[in-house]
Amino acid sequence: MSETFSISDLSREFEVTTRTIRHYEDLGLLAPSRAGQNRVYSARDRVHLKLILRGRRLGFSLKEIGELLQLYDAPNGEVSQLTLFIGKMRERRETLLEQREDIDRVLEELDDLEKRCAEMLQARDENAA
């Protein structure tokens, strides 16, 4: 018999709320079976949750993550999934590099502005003395 997990098991393991897991289920990203009123998650669901959370940490949208997960079941799925994932990672990396450049520029502006303000205060203090 394959290993199964309750929603509480996955919630504890991945440190997410059960509401988050149910949300991913509502979006079709997870598909647990049912045992009466209880959700029963398979090892595959567990892997999907792990991939969803990794994708979120990397900044992918749930839609993008869903596209990747759908490819997993397609013929030649792993190759298609990996090819798409590489493309998405490259796009994300480019976005992050652009954001880093923007942040660096803003930090330089802040440093310059702080320096000018400090100089103005010092000149004011010197003129007052």
Alpha helices in 2-42 (DSSP H): 7-14, 18-26
The distance between the two most distant Cα atoms of the chain, rounded to a whole number of Å, is 85
- pLDDT tens for the 129 residues of the chain, in order: 579 999 999 999 999 999 999 999 999 999 999 989 899 999 999 999 999 999 999 989 999 999 888 877 677 767 877 888 889 889 999 999 999 999 999 999 999 999 999 999 999 888 887
CA angle 73, 37, 68 (to 5 degrees): 20
